[in-house]
Structure formats: structure tokens, C-alpha cells
Amino acid sequence: MTQDMIRIHVMKCGEVGVDPAVPRRSVSGNPVAYTGLFRSSKRRIWIPVFTYLIEHPMGNVLIDTGWSSEVREHPVHAESLRLWLTSKPGLPENSAVDEQLAKRGLKPEDLHYVILTHLDVDHANGLMLVRNAQHIMASAREIAAADGHDLRYLKRQWKGMQIEKISFQKTGYGITGRSCDLFGDGTVQIIETPGHTAGSLTALVSRNGKSVLIAGDTGYEKKSWRENSLPGPVYDKAQMRKALGWVKKMEQSGSLILASHDPEISEQTIEL
């Protein structure tokens, strides 16, 4: 890597089996169809679980963690029965986040930041695999939500770890106008985009007039933001629609959009 180059490694850290109403709420008139409860398992679809490694001249950044390798042998215990009933994990050999890092000659302690777009199980389940990273961070709103009684969160995934609160400033980015300039040079902005969860985030990586928006679950596929199509799991529908509208504008302005579960994405390395 040249001195000022930024590389984004798109890493597939497994897949998740869900009801079709998870990526697209409109496929069913049942408002809780996305849970899969009382729905035939024959409907289930498998969608990818992507994480992103940003190799930056000022430090390595991991966005989300995917599945823990524990799901290979003990999937119910790795999640919890209630979460396993709605989200079936799949994790081939050599695809867990620590294994993906090792392929690139890195160890968890080589990560300057682990940024969690949110704390849903398929994004935070691999936290124990990177617990030796220098900083593990999420939004204060997301941490507060996860400390509550919402059934979508599984606190023991980060037991014994300190998740630091990201400090945001008014910058005009996103739907709240708040972001964190991670390295202070404008190249990596962590942006508030609530809607999918209370504290959902996106990451905008920019250099030399090019930009990549790592959208997390602010849209599961391109149709999500292009058609303003809500996913099944939503914390706030109005905020989610605003967030999808903002992602659409970012795409129209030339940003490449990478969503965590977009089946049209493949593993690759993007250089800026």
C-alpha cells in the first residue's frame, strides 16, 4: 500500500437465513413476518453477512464483526434460542472475522478501531474474536438501547468488554447532521443514521473525489434505497425512510454503496 492509499476489504463473514420479510417488509402484510415465527421454513432465504476492513495510513478500521466461530458447532448457544429462531447463522471454515484478518496478515490487536454500525446479533456476534482491538466503539444511543430490554440484543456477546461511545460533531452529514471524523482528515466519517436501530451508523470513506459508503443495515439491498423500501426490523419507520433517502442521494452523487447483506456484492478490495 502506498503511503496515502486507502484500501477497503469487503469480507464475507458468513451468511444468515431469514424470512424474506427481513430485507423487504412489503412482501407480507403481516407486520411481524420478518421474525419468521409461524412462517414456513421453506420461505427462508440466505443472505450474506459482510464486514469491512479499512486499511488507512493512520490505522486499521474494522466495520462490524459478523458471526463468531462458535456458531459452527453450537449455533443456538452462540445466539440464544429466540434469536436463532429468527436468524439462522452460516459460517464456512476460514470466514470468521479473525480468520479473514489472518489471511491479510493481521491480528485483532492490529486493529486501531472496531466500529459497530449497530449491535444486532449478526453484526456483533464476532466481537469476542477481536476483543484485543485497541478501541471497540458504537454510538451512545445504540449502547443505551442494548443495555435495555429490547429482545433483539444479546448483551453477553460483549461481556467483559468496554464498548466506547463515539463522540459526534455537527458536520451536516446524514439525517441528524452529526458525524465523527475518525482520523481528523475527512477521509473516514462515522455518521449517525438511526432508523434500523436507535443508534445505527454508516461509514463514509473518501479520497481524491471518490467515496464509498458502508451502509450497514441502512438498506439491505439496492432496491431498499432506490425504492425507499423498508426492511422488516425497524426501530423508527420515519427515520428509516429519511436514512434510505439520504443513502439514495449519496449514490446519486457518485458514492459506491456497500450494504451488509446485499447479495449483489462480492468479496473484493477497493482502492482509493
Going by their DSSP bridges, the two strands 59-63 and 111-115 should be labelled as parallel
- In this prediction, residue 37 carries a pLDDT of 83
Mean pLDDT of the region 16-31: 94
Specify the amino acid at residue 250: M
Mean pLDDT of the region 1-14: 88
- pTM summary value: 0.97
Q: Could you report the per-residue pLDDT of 193-214, keeping only the tens digit for each? A: 999 999 999 999 999 999 999 9
What DSSP character marks residue 102?
H
Q: How large a percentage of the chain has pLDDT more than 70?
A: 99
Specify the amino acid at residue 75: P
Measure the CA–CA gap between 176 and 194, rounded to whole angstroms.
Answer: 8
In the block, residue with C-alpha cell 479473525: 98
CB 121 within 8 A of CB 100: no
Does 172 have pLDDT greater than 60?
A: yes
Q: Could you report the per-residue pLDDT of 80-126, keeping only the tens digit for each? A: 998 998 999 999 999 999 999 999 999 999 999 999 999 999 999 99
Nearest partner of 167 among 147, 143, 145, 148, judged by Cα: 143
